[in-house]
Structure formats: structure tokens, C-alpha cells
Structure 1
């Protein structure tokens, strides 16, 4: 959605349009299910859910419930109470599976993202003398870069020669799908793994994960994605796309708290295979876990990659947030997200028209299928001043050097009036 018919409207007319859209919004009640940051008694416009999602009001109750179990049962909380802790990950699997498009047994909330990325690489990067190279996108999130680099070095490979990085073409901000696919074809005889983000943290670009997985599998290449900025943001179909593995965090779009529990997806085609893995006692067959015997026997499915005793408090918050997603529906959220980002793009276009120059450039693709909630705004020379001005006006976004402001209208708790306020503030900064 890019409602260009709004461009000629006055600021007041745009405000009225935004308020009307908010009244028509079938998801508007979810906004009240979250705590919104305050400053000097004023509710801030929070557009930084791409870094840390807002707190669901149900989070405190969820933690209190587990604190009560701990209080009343002590160690027996693992086995006693209305909902014992022993299989707590199962309370999240159904909702999580819907969000990432998987079977419940293909997903498991556990650990933290980079830990899970290392676990997946241990299992799925199995180089041979001929097939040892890895393909990724240039400038991916640092965790991904560091994990790839270290695994290659552990296996005795030089990242300078074993890692293939696909970059945007000169003068462009994002990577073309055809360039990614061409790189797979051209290097298929040496590739062991394609591993990259599903949605780029800096540009906000959504990659065509289905096309990447389909082509790579034609050559027998394993495919994995880091979905830190995709899970809870865009609809995913990991099982149907045949993706081999994926990892994500839960503290961004999944609103599960700072440093919240991560998650993994392992396609069912790998569940019964003799997959190499780093084992831990919580991944051991649950029925026999407390026998404490030698010889690792994994749980069935993604849960077999668990390592340590889980953080029940973190899982409780995660579960509370997932329940909100279950109620709202990821497809409904996506529809509203497209409308919100479309409105934000129009507000930026309107400013550029008034300025008769491109004050703000968008790194993020205009095509809705190629982006999620986030728009990355490039402002030359005075970008940091603009960011600081927005902050002073109560609009919370995210600054990235050297000249990028990331703004993410989140459909669960942002509204169209929030977006209008951004446009109004930007126009006021340049005195339009």
C-alpha cells in the first residue's frame, strides 16, 4: 500500500484521515495491551520495536505465576503444579509454529540467538574437500558475520576465500534477488551452505527465502536463515519453503523482553537423521533424562538441540507475548503493517515534494513484499540532528551510523496517528 492520493492533502486532512483509519482498525484494541514509554507525563511515539519490543501488560502476571509456583513448590515445580516446568517449551510451540510457518515439533524456544546459530552451524555445516564454501549477504548483522568467520576458521578455512558475500550493485542499497540466485548457480560446485538473514537489519529488505531455498536445494546445498528481524514481523513459511534451519530472537518484534529467549527451527526432514550436534542434558530424551546415563539420546524434533535447564521466567514472558500474536493473527498484523509503512512512505514523499529535493532517501524497498515494518531513512549531513529532533519531540526511533534513521511502526501497538506525528515533526524540522 502506497496511498499516493494522500499527497495533496493538508496536514489537518491527513490527521483526520489517520484518525479515521485508527477508528476502522480491527486491531486497535491491542495497542492497550502494551505499556507505552512516558516522558514528562507524555506518551512517547515508540517506533523502535525493531530493536526492543514494548512490554505486554500480561508479562508481569506471567512471571508472577511462575514465582508463585517456585514459592509453593520449590524444586518440585519442575513436576508439580497446574503447569509444571519440565516441558515448558511445549507451551510455546503451537503459537511459535504459526508465526514462522512450521510444524510444532520443528520449533523450540531456547538459549540465545548466537548460541543457537553456533549450534545450527555445528550440525549443518559439513564441508567436504569439494563443497566447503558458504554464501551470505555482505554486511549482515555482526553476530552472523562473527559466527560464520569462526566456524570457517575452526574447520581450517580462510574466510577470505571460503566465504562468498553478495553485495548490492554500485549505487544501490539492497541486494537483487537475481544476484543472489546467480551467485548460488555460479558457485554451486563448491557451496556447502547458504546462511544469511531473512530480513536485513540495516536496510529492512526482505529476501526471497523461498526462491533461495528452492534453488540451493536443487544443488544439494543446505540453507539456513537468521530471522531476528523477520519473526513476528512478516509471515513465514519455513516448512513449506523447505528451509533446513533457522534461528531468531524474541525481544524485537516478538516483544518478549530484553535478552529474551531465542528460538530455532529444524525441518522435520532432519529429525530422524544422524545429525551431528553439540549435546546438552536438556536435549536428552525427556522420559529418560534423569537416569543420567552415558550416551546422548536426543528428544524428537527441534527440542533435541536444547542444552541447559531453561530460563522459566524468560519463557513465561515469551509465552505471554505469543498468546497476543495467537489472538491477533500474523496475517492480520501483516495487512496493517503494509498500510502503516505505506503511510509513512507517503509522509516522506510529501516532505520531499515540499522541499523540491530529496531531503530523505529510503534504503528500504518500496515494494511491500520486499520489506516488513521497518523503513530505513537516509539523511545526508544532518541526519543525527534530525534524529535528535525527533527524540526531543517524543518520537523514539533508532540511529545507525553514518546517516540512517530506522523507524518501525509495529501493527500490534502503533497507530496511523503515530505515523502522522512523524511526518508532522519532520516537516516542522525543515519549517514547511
Structure 2
């Protein structure tokens, strides 16, 4: 990532973008939604992976961002922000400082609970005149705290404005999404080059995971399923040995600086049979027609209709799907969802995963899934590996 912005530089750029969506008198944005915390501060916290119920918050001005974090999370938060005055801690955890150096704020006793630390942060960074925009995507705890502490006339719900800011991606964000996608593609290529019948699902999962880690990514999901198991969506790999002629469905993603990839392909050791080939061609036609329809101004539900209709017309007349894609960024599944009811109009700069999987229990399953960025007249591919059914001798 040496050719792009650092995370703190990216956060500065994204704060400017976010404030551009806000009412003019908003001087502080507050959010406890983990993706928005990363968006506004640049800090991607492992604590959210370890404990999904973990609470933290960001308080962002146009110039900088303060964090409310647990005492344990304060160490890596400080490693990024480098200013103890920007970190408000709660709970119990202990760091020592070697060599008699500056304790970097860890000698100050943390607050007992998240609410106490959040109130302390609000007290310290509240604007002197402007209003405070509070994102309610993670619930109303901060909203209620802000109204009680600042007064109802001083707080504004900016949930929709934050959503709008994150909907399109900057160049530095797309570089991270592209890198995360490349790491999965490299894992797939390793399977194409070295995979063979008799290997296990775990063997293939290890190939993909190794490339993610070696390239600086964090593996998030590596679903390798084969034979009848390939009809099981989002299933973990097992020690099952893969026989010649069995389909292998791989759906995998990692994160780079918090930005996700999500990529699906289908493989077979040896030659596919006629049914497998024809079925795959149907889902391939579906995603290619879906991709051909992408451009700014098209509604998400229109893409869904095109994808499903194409798969039906090209060989699977009974084809059904709950969605044929979704937004991606600091979340694997973000807005919009490409389904029958989401009428969100695509904007230039949005990043989407588009897909047309097909699962037939007790037989097999297959998928093809790409990541793209919407442009004014089409799309820019982030996924570059072929969409073919990969036949591995």
C-alpha cells in the first residue's frame, strides 16, 4: 500500500467527504458504528472481531477524530493516532511503559463504562457553537446521551448522511478493495496451477488463505465446498477428498485496512459433464448480462431482474434468488442490495459485488461473483480473473 494514502490520511479525506454531506452547521460527527469509526478515524479495531458486542465510538471534527475505546483497545488505537488526548478509555486493562518513558496517558484511570467515557469525550470536544451530528446506525445509546448532555436542539440525526458519504468510494478506498480482491485471485490462481484430484477442501482453503496472509490481508471467509457439499452456501471447508469430475465452489474474501473482498468461482478436476457445463453457462450468462446493464442511474432492482431473467432464459427456467449482488466497502454486505425491492439508484463511484449462484442439494452448486465500481456509462472491474468454469487437468 506504499503508493496510496496512509489510514490517517485517508480518514482526513473521508472526513471532508462526510462533512460535505452534512448540514452546514454540523461541527462534530459522533458514531458508534464500527465501520463509520474506521471511516472517520482510520482505526480498524480487532476488538470488534474478538467481541461483536464490543462498544466504541468516534467523535470527528473536520480536522481530527477522537476515539472512545476499551482500555485494552487503547494500545493499538494510540499506535495509529499517536496522541493520548484523542483517546477516551473505559474498563480495565494494564499496560506498562518500559525504560521510564512517557506513559502516554495510561497512568490515568479509565472510566468504568462506555457511557461514562463517551460523556467525557463529548464534554471535551463538543463544539462551542455548531451542532452535533449523531449517527444512529448502531442504535440510540449515543443519540440519547447526546440529547441529555447537549440538549435536543444541539443534536441532529445524520444516519442517512453518513450512509450517503460511504456509498461511493474514493481512489484510495478502491485501491484497498482492489488489493483485497487481488489476494483472493492469487489464491485461486494457485489452485489452478497446483490443484489436483485427491486434494481435500482444507488443502484448497489453505492455498487461498496463505496468499491472503502473505499479501497483507486478513482472511475473513474461505468457503471451499466440493461434490454434493458445493450446494451448501457459506460452509466451512472439511477434510473431504475431492474426486475427479466433482465441482468445487469457492467463495472467499479478506480485508485490507478494513476494506473487504468477496469473490466466487467454480472449479472442476478433470472434465465437467454436459449438465455441469450447461448449468454453468446459464449462470455465467446471467452475470454477464447483469454486468452489461451496470451504469450510473440504473436501479438496483433492475439489475436483479435482468440477472434472474437471463439465467432462466439461458438454461435454468426455475432459477430463484433472494439477491444477485450487494454493495461492498468497510462492510462485506453494504448498501445497496441487488434484489427485487431495493430501488436504490446506482451512483458513479459505488462498488458492488454481483453474483448468480445456483445450488442444487444432493447434487452440486456453482457460482461466479465479481466486484466492480460503477461509472457514469458502465463499470470498472476490480475482479480481473476469468469468469470461466476452471477445468483443472
Q: Given the two structures, how large is their TM-score scaled by the length of structure 2?
A: 0.26
Which structure shows the higher helix fraction? 1
Which structure shows the higher strand fraction? 2
Higher RCO, 1 vs 2 (CA within 8 Å, ≥6 residues apart): 1
